[in-house]
Structure 1
Amino acid sequence: MTESHPHPLFAHGTLLDPQVQAALFGRTVPTTPASLTGHTAGPLEIADGSRNLRREFGGTVEGAVLHLTERELAAADAHAGDDFARRRVLLGSGEPAWAHLDARPLRPAARIVIVGDSIAYGRCDPQGGWAAHLAAAHIASNETGHRVFNLAIPGSTLADVAAQTPPLLAPRHPDTLVVAAGINDSAELLAAPDTTRDNLSHLADRLTPLAATALRHNARMVVVGPAWLDETRLDDYEGLRFTTARALALRAALRAWCEDNHIDFIDLWEPLRDRPHLFVDGVHPTPDGHKELFRHLST
């Protein structure tokens, strides 16, 4: 963007001080009063003195939008530090803007919706998988304000998730949308090996509308990458072939899209890597495997 199309950044602390702006940007920048709904100011402080933004249904944080050049926006990112990530939010006016949020996306969450496939659903784990462990811990920390809605459906691809999710969000008032799908997009059809089925090249077509849907609900989107799989047990899995190479390609594509679009990415590859005993069938984790994934998500 150029000087004539500034980047809007929501701020609510000393970044609004003209002296701080002059020191950081070399000028006093234009600002517009604004509010951020669905948030409250928590105890963790950014370098500029702003308190960390946390999610709270019905909450409001008063502040202002700074209209920054691309260079100034990069300076604000550096000023915020590694504990914070710049993400899209929806202002009380309905306009989108940037804001610096907790770099650990699940820590400030209150109302979480999970969409995805059989692994997110918790298949092969009578306790409900990593999502159920996450729900139990999250709700136990705040029984009044915290909720987790697991809407994952076994067999889902990202195309399925993109089509099914929009009408499900409004009744649940989510502030965080966890998208845990994609491994089915990486599978190859055994019945038609010569047929082009490269769903991986269409990931952006699925993820972009999901990100837009999340923003309309002022929800932070979090993409969960695939877990390691045991390819030696997956030569023919219900007419599909899952391979390490394709799963790694999915992981790389999801990560790259998230980095390009300032969306949170949680990598689940390493917790189960080279640990085949934590799988029921090569792709679905055992109950202990799901506990390992939950522990990784919680750190």
Structure 2
Amino acid sequence: MGYYYLFSYGTFIDQEVQHILFGRSVTVGTASLPQHGRHADADGFYYVTPEPGCSVRGELLCLSADELITADLWENVPDYVRVLVRVRLNNGSTLNAYIYYRSNPQAKLPAPPGTLAAVPRAQVIAAAQELAAELSAGGCI
């Protein structure tokens, strides 16, 4: 069984979200996504777009294949599309990691630094708990 890197720039950074969805902390360190900017969509969740001269700070997660499927469910694929990109680690090296691009951005609003989403954290936690309950019940999503 393989493991995959995922670069998170939003709700997956929250340790409680990680524990709810994956049953453990999956963060392995900080990283950045060069030549991209982070924005808030009309629904209050973040997305990234290519932007020369910009960089998005985030965290590198390490997920199993099953956890990557859970991540896809959380990101509402196909609303977001998982894409393999190069991210930069703190030591200057780079590696391949997945990110989620928004399929059809509805707005290009500024995303304040240090925030998970433009929606209340309690709403994010409740949504994570709902998805986890559906997955543990074996229901169809």
- TM-score class normalised by the smaller sequence: 0.5 to 0.7
For 1:66 and 1:9, how far apart are their aligned partners in 2? 5
Shift of 1:102: 1.8
**Which residue identity lines up with residue 56 of structure 1 in the other structure?**
E
State the partner residue of 1:44.
Answer: 41
For 2:45 and 2:29, how far apart are their aligned partners in 1? 17
Query: Would you say the 8 A contact 1:12–1:50 is kept in 2?
Result: no
State the partner residue of 1:70.
Answer: 65
Deviations 1:218-271 (A, max 9, x none): xxxxxxxxxxxxxxxxxxxxxxxxxxxxxxxxxxxxxxxxxxxxxxxxxxxxxx
**Which residue identity lines up with residue 29 of structure 1 in the other structure?**
V
For 1:39 and 1:76, how far apart are their aligned partners in 2? 21
State the partner residue of 1:88.
Answer: 84
Query: Would you say the 8 A contact 1:45–1:51 is kept in 2?
Result: no
For 2:42 and 2:19, how far apart are their aligned partners in 1? 21
For 2:42 and 2:73, how far apart are their aligned partners in 1? 15
**Is the counterpart of residue 22 in structure 1 residue 19 in structure 2?**
yes
Once the two structures are superposed, the pairs formed by residues 195-274 of structure 1 within 5 Å of their partners are none
> What is the count of residue pairs matched by the alignment?
100
For 1:88 and 1:71, how far apart are their aligned partners in 2? 17
Secondary structure of 1:28's partner?
coil
For 2:42 and 2:21, how far apart are their aligned partners in 1? 18
**Which residue identity lines up with residue 88 of structure 1 in the other structure?**
L
Q: TM-score, with normalisation over the residues of structure 1?
A: 0.31
State the partner residue of 1:34.
Answer: 31
Change (3 A) 1:45 1:39: farther
Computing the radius of gyration from Cα coordinates, the structure with the larger value is 1
Shift of 1:45: 7.2
Shift of 1:50: 5.1
**Which residue identity lines up with residue 28 of structure 2 in the other structure?**
T
Taking CA–CA contacts closer than 8 Å with sequence separation of 6 or more, which of the two structures ends up with the larger relative contact order? 2
Once the two structures are superposed, the pairs formed by residues 272-291 of structure 1 within 5 Å of their partners are none
Shift of 1:65: 0.8
Shift of 1:26: 1.7
State the partner residue of 1:103.
Answer: 103
For 1:44 and 1:31, how far apart are their aligned partners in 2? 27
Q: TM-score, with normalisation over the residues of structure 2?
A: 0.64
Secondary structure of 2:94's partner?
coil
| Structure 1 runs not aligned, ≥5 long | 108-299
Shift of 1:30: 3.5
Change (3 A) 1:67 1:50: farther
Structure having the larger proportion of residues in strand = 2
Query: Would you say the 8 A contact 1:85–1:100 is kept in 2?
Result: yes
Structure having the larger proportion of residues in helix = 1
For 2:99 and 2:45, how far apart are their aligned partners in 1? 11
For 1:60 and 1:50, how far apart are their aligned partners in 2? 18
Which one of 54, 60, 67 corresponds to residue 59 of structure 1?
54
State the partner residue of 2:117.
Answer: none
The percentage of aligned residue pairs carrying the same residue is 32
For 1:7 and 1:45, how far apart are their aligned partners in 2? 30
Query: Would you say the 8 A contact 2:8–2:58 is kept in 1?
Result: yes
